[in-house]
Chains A and B, each alone.
Chain A
Amino acid sequence: MVMHVTDSNFQNEVLNSDVPVLVDFWATWCGPCKMLAPVIEEVAQRMEGEVKVVKLDVDENPVTASQYGIMSIPTLVLFKDGKPVGKLVGFRPADQIESAIRGALNL
């Protein structure tokens, strides 16, 4: 299961993480976000141990969403050592997400 993060634990779970973290910024009213949910689960399974995958509801956690300039959802942001290193906007198949992550992390 992909973990849900919030404004209050974002620092601990994402920014202070030892492994890179992929954050799925989503909302309950967003159709493409619902389609992306199983895809994100698949990416999490495929990349277990290499990348941590979490979800953040932009309605419940506006501070973090606004801090990272989320202006369209779904948006995926990859964090490494507390900094955003890559961003994908819109629904994508698992292969594309995985290859974007591998590209950004030189894996």
Chain B
Amino acid sequence: MYDIAIIGKGPAGISAAINAYARNKKVIIFGQDSKKILWAPSIPNYAGLPDITGTEFMERLNDHLNKTDAVVVNKNVLAVYSMGTHFSIQAETEMYEAKKVILATGVDFKKTIENEDKFLGSGVSYCATCDAPLYKGKTVAVIGYNHESIEEANFLATVCSKVYFVPQIKEDLSKLNEKVEVVNGKPLKFEGAFSAEKLVLDNTEIKADGFFVLKDSYPLTSLVPGLEVDGPHVKVDKNMETNIKGLYAAGDVAGKPYQIAKAVGEGQIAALNACENL
């Protein structure tokens, strides 16, 4: 059992990890490098580091994180469940346990596809690794919002009889398995009686047994059942604690302004408060 699990490896998450480590806590941190930071051509307003580039800043953050003994897990967290005395965290097919959790996922304004939440678990899945065996010999469609979705589509092609790939990213698709059929279009909604049977796009439709929506972050309410949110943000108190005891949020996911210094500060507040009574 870890003392503190941190979901997200941007400035808020790494700041939380560094501070929790300083308090001698056993820390696990999930996620990939923050793309928002990596893509920043320059960061002009972070005190003490004038004109640092996003890539350099991310490198510094990782160097600092590597000086701690926090366990880094490069996996997508699909769900965080409050168990009363602790939390269970599902990262793809693995489960982890921690006494407290800090959400530092960043904020995602991408709208979900209509009926995506309604059919989640009934023909819509967020995890190819988890659910692929249930679609053995069947037809599936992958709606890919990230680079990893290309690999996941190739993996599904080894299990399923037919795989459609609906890219929502500008990526080189030449690495796609030849069994995967690319369908270009904007996904609008899922339709079906009891489970998702059809994806309606702006220019066509795809019928399949299962639909994999693969992206970097998932709706907060499906990530943490029972979490109080305000639009794309998690509601927090001045200690950065959410409505769920022992669950904190920091950085962009906790609200505006979307600034690195604010994220780093909130990561620290969340970590130091989480460390109390541990």
Binding site for B on A (CB under 8 A): 27, 29-32, 34-35, 58-59, 65, 69-73, 75, 89-93, 95-96
Complex CA gap A91/B123 in Å reads 17
* Number of residues of chain B lying within 8 A (CB) of chain A: 26
B133 touches A27 (CB 8 A): yes
Select the stretch in B23-31, B32-40, B82-90, B172-180 that faces chain A. B82-90
Task: List the B residue with the shortest CB-CB distance to A92.
Answer: B81
B185 touches A (CB below 8 Å): no
Binding site for A on B (CB under 8 A): 79, 81-84, 88, 90, 92-95, 120-123, 125, 130-131, 133-135, 194-195, 209-210, 225
Inter-chain contacts of B90 with A (CB < 8 A) = 31-32, 90-91
Complex CA gap A32/B92 in Å reads 9
A71 touches B210 (CB 8 A): yes
A-B contact pairs, 6 of them (CB 8 A): A30-B130, A31-B92, A70-B134, A71-B134, A72-B122, A91-B81
Do A71 and B122 contact each other (CB < 8 Å), given the known contacts A35-B88, A58-B134, A92-B81? yes
B246: min CB distance to chain A, Å: 14
Query: What is the total of A-B residue contacts with beta carbons within 8 Å?
Result: 64
Task: List the B residue with the shortest CB-CB distance to A88.
Answer: B121
Q: Ordered nearest first, which 6 A-B pairs have the shortest CB separation? A: A89-B121, A31-B93, A35-B95, A72-B121, A93-B83, A31-B94
Inter-chain contacts of B121 with A (CB < 8 A) = 71-72, 75, 89-90
A40: min CB distance to chain B, Å: 14
Inter-chain contacts of A30 with B (CB < 8 A) = 93, 130
Inter-chain contacts of B81 with A (CB < 8 A) = 91-93
B133 touches A72 (CB 8 A): no
Highest count of chain A CB atoms <10 Å: which of B83, B84, B123, B134:
B134
Task: List the B residue with the shortest CB-CB distance to A59.
Answer: B133
B117: min CB distance to chain A, Å: 12
Contact of A91 among B95, B122, B125 (CB under 8 A): B95
B48: min CB distance to chain A, Å: 42
Inter-chain contacts of B225 with A (CB < 8 A) = 96
Do A69 and B134 contact each other (CB < 8 Å), given the known contacts A32-B90, A34-B95, A75-B121? no
A57: min CB distance to chain B, Å: 12
Inter-chain contacts of B123 with A (CB < 8 A) = 71
